[in-house]
Chain A
Amino acid sequence: MEQTIPDKKINIKGLVCPYTFVKAKLAIESMEVGQILEILLDYEEASRSIPKSMEDHGQKVLKVEKVSDTDWVLQIRKDKD
């Protein structure tokens, strides 16, 4: 798979919904259209809900990957300001 270098990374391990999405959304808001946000998280539900909510908000989900027993990495491209 092609490797994408994110413009910003956040670690939201330890957070649960809705703060996972709140943090992810604030991070996306602070970025420019076209930039990529990488999110490291360990709350399983958020590995599904963040991509869904981001798509609802008009952003592009590039990657949802389980990287260990506990952690997921998401990559989101900001398509909409």
Chain B
Amino acid sequence: MDFTDDQLMRYSRHIILPEVGGKGQAKIAKAKVFIIGAGGLGCPVGYYLTAAGVGTIALIDNDTVEMSNLQRQIAHSVQTIGMPKVESAKKTFEALNPDVNVVAIQKRISKDNIIDLIRDYDIVVDGSDNFPTRYLVNDACFMARKPLVTGAILRFEGQVTTILPGDGPCYRCLFEEPPPPGLVPSCQEAGVLGVLPGVIGGLQATEVLKLILGKGDVLKGELLMYNALKTTFRKVRVPKNPSCPLCGAKPSITELIDYNEGYCAM
């Protein structure tokens, strides 16, 4: 890839790294990443991947920007209140790096559209805030054989893991089924420290870049848990479940499921 002078300057700190170089930066420029949710996690993930020069970044979210988002959703601003979150984030990302093609999809992701939506992308990032979506994304990425970097946050705690198709456990190996509605509170009910999605989203973006570059070790078969109050990181090994209903030897889940009833809106 031939870099323009602006690109040489913009990506110089990457190009200098032995693990990246011009070849790695060219891989980043060719990569296509699909981000689910333009909220607490989607904003920093998309923002850093934009800064890194990822060629195409799709964002899907059905919501509009509200004042209560601004404590943590760093791609939005008072100027974009009322605007679809994906449009607000697209504006912010394009201002940061015009090299990046930002695809804004103002839709709710569902079992009927997810496979088509992620088809052309290399990596999927889950930044959703609810269990129906988390399971839908896990199942769809398994079926479509897409690497998935999933993150979750609540109060002062967050977690990240990377799920590779056909290699290691999936999210259902960890938790077979979503918890019953109401058992796990949402951020809306329980609160979240505004900076927490920055930490977790930053980790997710890092996982994505390592997948693109093919360098380092990703969180395959491992769940990384961060406690912001205690400032602790804990890595838990997650074994593949041979009787996993999705990726096990005799799967009972062979088509996508919408668990939406009983859960609050995304």
Contact = CB atoms under 8 A, between A and B. Distances in A.
A22 interface: yes
A22 B12 contact: yes
Interface residues of B, number: 11
B132 to A, nearest CB: 46
Task: Give the interface centre of B9, B13, B22 by most chain A CB atoms within 10 Å.
Answer: B22
Q: What is the interface of chain A mostly: helix, strand, loop, or mixed?
A: helix
Contacts, number: 28
A45 to B, nearest CB: 15
Contact of A23 (B8, B13, B18, B21): B8
Contacts of B23: 29
A18 B8 CA distance: 10
Contacts of A25: 15-16, 21-22
B21 A18 contact: no
Interface string A18-58: 11011101100110000000000000000000000100110
Given A25-B16, A26-B15, A57-B18, 4 more contacts: A22-B8, A25-B22, A29-B22, A53-B16
Interface of B: 3, 8-9, 12-13, 15-16, 18, 21-23
Closest 7 CB pairs of A and B: A26-B22, A22-B12, A18-B12, A22-B15, A29-B22, A57-B18, A22-B8
